[in-house]
């Protein structure tokens, strides 16, 4: 087993929308003292900025130009992390259902994936980071030392998303939210570039009937075990 990187290991957490990746990544990063790189938020930022600019989701030239002039950064704000696009805080705006569906289409475009891939690899190269998304362990960091594939039933993921939207005051029904989760799954699994799939060496975790604390414990133990192995390598 090889030694870990300069700042620790790279932890990749992949899985479908609504599986709990974002919440668990934040908690795991806090426990380990690692940096959380929210790759999904990066794609959402591109989707938001493309919508504002009137760039169609299949306009590869326009999207490539947009990405060349886009700077995405994460700023820690207490226990949370704000997402900035060219210096503007877009943390709330990128979480709308409309941007979520647009993100699935935008993230399938090759110029967008290539541009953000460069950003993500630069952010995580030295380790000590946790990245979550849909292709972290298969495309972005196939050599990540620890990989998880987090899933849950579409019904459970839809229920969680519905409660999240309701808490924010957004109008939605449970049935509509579940339908959108299923639609998002089809888009993510069927896209040409970097479709959603589990890495062969990832640890699968079905969170449908597990609490956040239970999943977090499994993840933390796996990472700490890998760190011990690395120290002995």
The answer to whether the CB of 101 falls within 8 A of the CB of 86 is no
pLDDT of residue 149: 96
Q: Among the residues of 33-137, which ranges form H helices?
A: 39-53, 60-68, 97-106, 110-124
Q: What is the pLDDT of residues 128-140, one digit of tens each?
A: 999 998 889 998 9
**Has residue 44 got a pLDDT over 90?**
yes
**Residues of the binding site:** 15-23
pLDDT of residue 191: 77
**Has residue 230 got a pLDDT over 80?**
no
Instruction: Sketch out the chain's domains with CATH numbers.
Output: 10-220 (3.40.50.300)
**Residues of the binding site for ATP:** 15-23
Percent with pLDDT over 70 in the chain:
96
| Confidence at 2, pLDDT banded by 50, 70, 90 | low
Low-confidence winner among 16-25, 82-91, 183-192 (lowest mean pLDDT): 183-192
**Beta-carbon contacts of residue 73 (< 8 Å; ≥ 6 apart):** 83, 84
**Has residue 3 got a pLDDT over 70?**
no
Q: What is the pLDDT of residues 121-176, one digit of tens each?
A: 988 889 999 999 888 999 899 999 999 999 999 999 999 889 988 888 888 899 99
């Amino acid at each position: 087993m090889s030694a870990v990187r300069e700042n620790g290991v790279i932890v990749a957490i992949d899985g479908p929308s609504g599986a709990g990746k974002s919440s668990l990544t934040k908690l795991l990063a806090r426990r380990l003292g690692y940096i959380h790189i929210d790759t999904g938020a990066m794609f959402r930022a591109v989707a938001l900025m493309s919508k504002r600019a009137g760039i169609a989701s299949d306009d590869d030239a326009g999207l490539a130009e947009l990405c060349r002039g886009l700077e995405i950064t994460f700023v820690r704000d207490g226990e949370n992390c704000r997402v900035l696009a060219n210096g503007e805080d877009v943390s709330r705006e990128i979480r709308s259902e409309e941007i979520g569906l647009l993100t699935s289409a935008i993230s399938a475009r090759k110029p967008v994936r290539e541009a953000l891939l460069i950003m993500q690899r630069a952010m995580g190269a030295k380790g000590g980071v946790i990245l979550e998304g849909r292709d972290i362990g298969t495309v972005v960091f196939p050599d990540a030392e620890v990989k998880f594939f987090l899933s849950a039933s579409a019904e459970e993921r839809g229920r969680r998303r519905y409660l999240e939207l309701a808490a924010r005051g957004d109008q939605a029904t449970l049935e509509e939210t579940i339908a959108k989760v299923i639609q998002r799954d089809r888009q993510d699994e069927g896209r040409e570039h970097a479709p959603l799939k589990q890495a062969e060496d990832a640890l699968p975790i079905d969170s449908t009937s597990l609490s956040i604390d239970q999943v977090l414990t499994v993840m933390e133990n796996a990472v700490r075990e890998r760190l011990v192995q690395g120290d002995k390598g």
